[in-house]
Amino acid sequence: MKVSSTKSGNTCSLAVEGRIDTLTAPALEKEVTAQLPGCEKMIFDFSSVEYISSAGLRVLVFAQQELASDGEVVLKGLNANIAKMMTMTGLNNIFKIEK
C-alpha cells in the first residue's frame, strides 16, 4: 500500500494505492493521524485501491470519529466491490461517497 497526502487549507487529501488490510492499515492510520491537526475535511481517493479489510474500515471510522464534531470524511473512486461493502455494512450512511 502507498499513501500520498496533500493539504489545502482545512482540506486533507489522501490518495491510497494497493490493498488496505491488517498489515497495511496501521500505516494508513499513522498518516490519517498526522493529517488530523487543522483538518476539517478528509478526502480519501480510493481510485487505485483494490481491496479494503475490516482493519481498513476501522481506520476510516476512526477518521470520521475524530472529525465528527466539525468535519467530514469523503470517499472517492470506490471500485464496485468496495462500494458494495460500504452499502452492506451501512457505512455509506456515515461517509460522503463521491464518484
Helix 25-35 with 54-67: angle, nearest 10 deg = 10
Split into its structural domains, the chain has a count of 1
The total number of residues written for the chain in this structure:
99
pLDDT tens for each residue of 79-93: 999 999 999 999 999
Residue 41 · residue 34 · CB < 8 Å: no
Range of 35's domain?
A: 2-98
pLDDT tens column, 6-56: 999 999 999 999 999 999 999 999 999 999 999 999 999 999 999 999 999
Domain at 67, CATH number: 3.30.750.24
pLDDT of residue 68: 81
Confidence category of residue 99, pLDDT binned at 50, 70, 90: confident
Residue 79 DSSP one-character state: -
Tell which residue, 29, 75, 74, 23, has the closest CA to residue 53. Answer: 23
Q: What pLDDT is stored for residue 69 in this prediction?
A: 74
